[in-house]
């Protein structure tokens, strides 16, 4: 039985992207969120046309996973869990969708009116098929997320997990994503 630990991290906030506490890239603070996300996509991926259809929440989570998983994980798809949390759920997109129903509802926005869609976008991109959960709370409840992840490891339901906080509301956002793995000790 091994101990669970964070083996990599990605933080996206204030138009900066960090991997393992190292600043990888910084964009002008003058950019709006949409332009920042597009510039970050061009910098770190640029090969996933579906990105342009995603809402801000999905783009942020997806970008963090791209940065975090520069190298593919060495686990079967069913052994990679995904546990995320945020404060606003999908309210940022819900409000934009509500604005469209005054005239003609936008099916493109409606698709993203659930917060767990970000997990689907990450899972599709990386082929993950393991356990997943999305929590909402007023703050990043690391104790809740880590106890849930620990339980999944204890039950041998996963071999690795991406877990963290993916929050966006209007132009305010923050992503803290961790790769958690079990260290096997002899």
pLDDT tens readout for residues 86-100: 999 998 888 887 887
Other CB atoms within 10 Å distance of the CB of residue 162: 29
Residue 85 and residue 177 in contact, taking contact as beta carbons nearer than 8 Å: no
Query: Could you give the domains of the chain?
Result: 4-185 (3.40.47.10)
pLDDT higher than 90, residue 112: no
pLDDT tens per residue across span 147-166: 999 999 999 999 999 999 99
pTM of structure: 0.92
- Residue 23 sits at φ, ψ, to 5 deg, of -70, 115
Q: How confident is the model at residue 129 (pLDDT cuts 50, 70, 90)?
A: very high
Judge whether residue 21 has pLDDT over 70: yes
CB-based contacts of 42-49 (< 8 A; 24+ apart in sequence): 44/17, 48/125
H or E segment to which residue 181 belongs: strand 172-183
Q: Per residue in 29-65, pLDDT tens?
A: 999 999 999 999 999 987 899 999 999 999 999 999 9
Mean pLDDT of all residues in 69-84: 95
Buried residues in 72-96 as b, exposed as e (16+ CB within 10 A)? ebebeeebbbbbbbbebbbbbbbeb
Q: Does position 185 have pLDDT exceeding 60, yes or no?
A: no
């Amino acid at each position: 039985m091994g101990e669970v630990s964070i083996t990599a991290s990605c933080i996206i906030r204030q138009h900066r992207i960090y991997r393992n506490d190292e600043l990888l890239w910084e964009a002008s603070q003058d950019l709006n969120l949409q332009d920042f996300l597009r510039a970050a996509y061009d910098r770190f991926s640029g090969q996933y046309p579906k990105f342009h259809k995603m809402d801000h929440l999905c783009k942020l989570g997806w970008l963090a996973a791209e940065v975090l998983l520069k190298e593919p994980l060495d686990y079967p798809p069913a052994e990679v869990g995904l546990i995320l949390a945020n404060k606003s759920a999908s309210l940022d997109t819900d409000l934009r969708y509500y604005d469209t129903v005054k005239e003609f509802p936008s099916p493109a926005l409606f698709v993203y009116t659930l917060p767990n869609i970000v997990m689907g976008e990450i899972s599709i991109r990386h082929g993950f098929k393991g356990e997943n959960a999305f929590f909402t709370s007023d703050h990043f409840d690391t104790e809740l997320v880590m106890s849930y992840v620990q339980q999944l490891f204890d039950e041998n339901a996963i071999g690795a997990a991406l877990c963290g906080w993916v929050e966006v509301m209007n132009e305010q956002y923050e992503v803290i994503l961790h790769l958690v793995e079990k260290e096997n000790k002899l």
